[in-house]
Structure 1
Amino acid sequence: MAAAILLLAACASGGAGGRLQEAGDARVFDLALDTDLDWARLKAPRQEQWTIDGAPLNQLLITSRIRPGEHVFLGARERRSRPDGPWFREGMRPDEVRDLVLDGLRGGGWANVRGSALRPANWGPTPGLRFELALDNPGGLKYRGLATAAEHDGRLTLLVWIAPAEHYYGRDADAVSRLFDSLRFVE
């Protein structure tokens, strides 16, 4: 989770290392996708954060190749002293992956985190899942979002997009949904 927090802080402050991702085809780690939107892109190992207007207004977190025993957002690894937590396990059911993401968000300081409309989603020929999010930031601002995940080669790849429920979510939800529809693993 620390890596995700650093990405969020750097992107919100216009941190160095970001670059523009123009609308069109894009490659992120072992994923190919198509986007209708221009994004600012901030990279870290196995994780990227994309934003259009700044992280507090919209953010897409892409977390790649989460290993068994790793935190869903690449935070601390599972330990005997911390057996409960948002740790990925190979072969999890879709509802377990959803709950893992929700627990990871709660652990990151989000409140009133809820997931709904869990459904299958294909990443090219790879089966995955998708669901909707509703959550509040620590200050009480209401956010909505979309999440999608797929297991590939025994590892989980996860995309979580959130934006304030007022204006930003409605403005970009359809474009983000189309981006999620275009996801596919590439070699």
Structure 2
Amino acid sequence: MSPALLRAALLAALFLLLAACAGTGGRLQSAGEATVFDMALQTDLDWARTRATRQELWTIDGAPLNQLNIISKVRPGEHVFLGARERRSRPDGPWFRAGMRPDEVRDVMLDALRGAGWAQVDSEGLRPANFGGVPGLRFDLSMANGRGLRYRGMAAAAERDGRLNLLVWVAPEEHYYPRDAAAVDRMFSSLRFVR
């Protein structure tokens, strides 16, 4: 799949998720304990949740203002955001491989964000994390949308049973990121696997 076609497919998937949030397909996640696929999180915030196959989009004020993408059980050879499968014609895409080093997982996540249309994507603070006995990683993000609006965010990932689970939260760096960053950081720190 060409990069332009992949980008269009990812944007179409995002628009479908956004449309689902605006309709009746979403549900409210009140502050407290939340179970998402095989993960449990503790949140201090209320969210709107929209579910698709192996992924959920959470937002507080609407996806352009803050969004948390939760993706479960990415298989080897799959796009880390579940966009497509690896092909011989494109062996260097953002595909997950079991046993990747933390910096490799971070790099394919950054490549996937670039492929989804984000610009000036950068990260800092790559660090190990422990999600209830499952080793993983965390890092911080900075990027811009197509109109140049600056965003900041956080990412977490863990390989479990040869599959990758990941969380990516982004919000505009003015107002929305500073307002919610501490609560999202606590939520990411609370991540545990339950099944």
Shorter-chain TM band: over 0.9
How big is the shift at 1:10?
Answer: 3.5
Matched, 1:28 2:40: no
**Given the alignment, which residue of 7, 13, 16 partners 1:6?**
13
Mapped to 2, the partners of 1:145 and 1:169 lie a distance apart of 7
TM-score (norm 2): 0.92
Q: State the partner residue of 1:141.
A: 149
Q: Determine what percentage of the aligned residue pairs are the same residue.
A: 70
Unaligned runs of 5+ in 1: none
The equivalences for 1:62-81 within 5 A come to: 62-81=70-89
The structure-2 alpha-carbon separation of the partners of 1:186 and 1:151, relative to structure 1 and needing over 3 Å to count, comes to same
Unaligned runs of 5+ in 2: 1-5
SS at match of 2:187: helix
**Given the alignment, which residue of 99, 123, 133 partners 1:125?**
133
Mapped to 1, the partners of 2:37 and 2:11 lie a distance apart of 16
**Given the alignment, which residue of 21, 40, 49 partners 1:41?**
49
Q: Residue type matched to 2:155 in 1?
A: A
Q: State the partner residue of 2:3.
A: none
Please list the CA deviations of residues 147-187 of structure 1 after superposition, one character each: whole Å capped at 9, or x if unmatched.
00000000000000000000100000000000001101111
Kept in 2, the 8 Å contact 1:19–1:41? The answer is yes
The count of aligned residue pairs is 187
TM-score (norm 1): 0.96
Q: State the partner residue of 1:109.
A: 117
The structure-2 alpha-carbon separation of the partners of 1:165 and 1:9, relative to structure 1 and needing over 3 Å to count, comes to farther
Matched, 1:173 2:178: no
How big is the shift at 1:9?
Answer: 4.7
Kept in 2, the 8 Å contact 1:8–1:55? The answer is no
